[in-house]
Structure 1
Amino acid sequence: ARVGLLDRLIQHARATAEFSVYYGRGRDGYDVRGRVAHESLFNAANGSYRGPNSQQGYSPFTTWTRGLAWAMLGFAEQLEFLDTVDDDSLTSHGGRAAVEQWMLDAACATSDYYMEIAASDGIPYWDSGAPNLEPVDSSAAAIGAQGLLRLARILEAAGRQPEADLYRQAGLRVVETLFEETGPYLSTDSKHQGLILHSVYHWPNRWDHVPEGATTPRGESSQWGDYHAREAALYVQRLACNGPYLAFFGGDRVQAAA
């Protein structure tokens, strides 16, 4: 049978929310609310769940923070997108209220975990459970900041102002840290080709640059980190000046739905 792209989107998001995001409900010994697995493995023959895995994180039972940030932003953006979808399109998935609830549960759980494990300036280490002196990952922060800010807007529209204020302030704190002109993350060297410093690519494989005399990578930018940093900056700028709302599918449609 032919499956539409919307159906496939919801199926994939549902599987991600169910198997890759943890909610502290006793699923296993590592079930900490908001933690995520980089990968979820399934039996290709019968589709049964096998367990968590990680390639770019420290282990299957710790949280690779860029993966965490992808989940934060992804669920928030899909919630925005659902505002443009008619109710009938969601009936086969349990209805709008059900779909929005599990997406919101995932967005809130992951955002809460991010705020718990990030440093006081809002920037997380590359993995929540890696030992010793480990690198921060500014790209995870750039992605996660926008997730926090978009979630705040969603909750504000739902009348949940105290929660909205919490996520908004957390998101703005990350943005402030990343773009502070005299801070450690914004590149002001005209000879450097990147925008945001101290992004991590694949630390388990040691594909990141470690300066001479150092033990952890630093000083590098990445295309995904710079992309999301620029997107976050534009997003905040539009909110500040009450400009057209920005979304991956066309902000004017969100504005009309809000």
Structure 2
Amino acid sequence: MKIKNELTASDLKGKLERFWQVSGKKINRIAEEYNTSKGSPVYTWAGKYTTRGWTEWTQGFQYGSAILQFDATGDESFLELGRKDTVEKMAPHVSHFGVHDHGFNNVSTYGNLLRLMNEGSIPENKWERDFYELALKVSGAVQAKRWATTADGPGYMYSFNGPHSLFVDTIRTCRALVVSDRLGHSLMEDNDKSVSLLGRMIEHARSTAKYSIYYGEGRDAYDEWGRTTHEAIFNRNDGNFRCPNAQQGFSGFTTWTRGLSWAMVGFPEELEFIETVSDEELKPYGGRAEIEAIFLKAAKATCDWFIKNTALDGIPYWDGGAPELYQLGDYTSRKSEPYNDFEPVDSTASAIGAQGLLRLGRYLGTETEEGARYFQAGLTSFETMLEEPYLSLEEDHHGLLLHSIYHRPNGWDYIPEGQKIPCGESSMWGDYHIRELALYVQRLIEEKPYYTFFNCVKGLKK
């Protein structure tokens, strides 16, 4: 991609104002038109939200979007919408033992509401606070229960595929463990054994860094700096790593860019969190220097891969090894082409990944050359998403961020008449994450408290 070195967050102020206007209309339209009896909305089909998938992993993004909209605009109708739906409908997600998505569903809803109370944006209410805190405490412990050990050290929270399966996505679910831990909770197992949720977060992140991310160190014939695999497979008889795999990417030996983006944002935000933890607490898990080195290496590698392998305007294609990608020639030397005939882009990888670029840049220091490079890359990608053909300005279309891909190998995505590949559609995870990205940048512009997931814990600030 071509990084715009002179672009500043303040340069995007006017575009952000339009963005939130468009965003509010989309939230209201979905609330008015979507048939909730079908399940939670997942992605759009011919411009209208519908549901499809293995689990209910996007409902928190729907209600969380309304909460973010309130945060950005002050419009209390969105607060009431997000709060009402969270209280009435999110409880099953809190105690859901069958998924790895607690950091998505529950931190995006209960967590955002509790953060707003801590920041004084909504009135202090003891029973409401206790309700949100209890939900977040339970959610983190339930998530941490999905635990598998490895033969050579750290364990991991396994995906809904089963104990053999480590998903790169789950690095962002670590948010649920962090929040629960900082609220004073732990996982209680047989014989009243108390398991540290901080410890499980660190161990899971170590495993993700070791098995899901490549560093050009000769691990296999396709090892390159920053490549990721969607799924790492383990032999559950002895805990040994067996092979990389992909569920939604092209293969285990290619980089599915949405999977990459989860690591891009997950590691930088955990680095931000680790800064708030005492040396004494980190000592049992290798100590600060070791933990930060592992997390930082993973963050830099994945962000570097994105920058190197993404189109000029900061929007990647759905997989770095997609079989027809060669037909596009040197696609990194041109702007992204969502309406091409060969392979789709995935704008949601940008919406998720750009936040990681910005956070990593801030962590390293935007006054440094290295930090500025990542930060400017994040702004470059974000600016592209604030304009057509990525920002959805058509009022009848439910989606906010266009050109999202859900499951290309399974053929789940809508292909419009006259097109040869999926394009022009949105997803609930993409719409939520571009809102979260927009809120992050807006707070920087307005010099408001720095936005982190762990601001929902009182007194815990970056």
Is the TM value for this pair above 0.5? yes
Q: Once the 2 structures are TM-superposed, how far is the Cα of residue 86 of structure 1 from its aligned partner?
A: 1.5
Partner of 1:245: 450
> For the Cα contact (< 8 Å) 1:245–1:251, is it kept in 2?
no
Partner of 2:371: 164
The equivalent position to 1:78 in structure 2, one of 270, 281, 305, is 270
Partner of 1:189: 394
* Alignment map for 1:61-210 (pairs within 5 Å): 61-132=253-324, 133-156=342-365, 161-180=368-387, 183-210=388-415
Partner of 2:57: none
> For the Cα contact (< 8 Å) 1:247–1:254, is it kept in 2?
no
Q: 2: distance between equivalents of 1:254 and 1:60?
A: 42
Normalising by the residue count of structure 2, what TM-score does the alignment of the two structures yield?
0.53
Q: 2: distance between equivalents of 1:59 and 1:98?
A: 31
Larger radius of gyration: 2
Q: Once the 2 structures are TM-superposed, how far is the Cα of residue 252 of structure 1 from its aligned partner?
A: 8.7
> For the Cα contact (< 8 Å) 2:454–2:460, is it kept in 1?
no
Unaligned runs of 5+ in 1: none
> For the Cα contact (< 8 Å) 1:84–1:253, is it kept in 2?
no
Q: Once the 2 structures are TM-superposed, how far is the Cα of residue 72 of structure 1 from its aligned partner?
A: 0.4
Amino acid at match of 1:193: H
Per-residue deviation, residues 32-68 of structure 1 (Å, max 9, x unmatched): 1100000000111111100100010001100000000
Per-residue deviation, residues 157-185 of structure 1 (Å, max 9, x unmatched): 8xx710111001100011100002xx200
- RMSD between superposed Cα atoms in Å: 1.6
My pick for the range that moved more, 211-220 or 29-38, is 211-220
Q: Once the 2 structures are TM-superposed, how far is the Cα of residue 2 of structure 1 from its aligned partner?
A: 3.4
> For the Cα contact (< 8 Å) 1:245–1:255, is it kept in 2?
no
RCO greater where, 1 or 2, for CA within 8 Å and sep 6 or more? 2
Unaligned runs of 5+ in 2: 1-192, 325-341
Q: Structure 1 stretches (4+) deviating beyond 4 angstroms?
A: 251-257
Q: Percent identity?
A: 57
Amino acid at match of 1:216: I
Partner of 2:220: 28
Q: 1: distance between equivalents of 2:253 and 2:271?
A: 27
Normalising by the residue count of structure 1, what TM-score does the alignment of the two structures yield?
0.95
SS in 1 for 2:242: strand
Q: Once the 2 structures are TM-superposed, how far is the Cα of residue 3 of structure 1 from its aligned partner?
A: 2.0
SS in 1 for 2:454: coil
Q: 1: distance between equivalents of 2:343 and 2:205?
A: 31
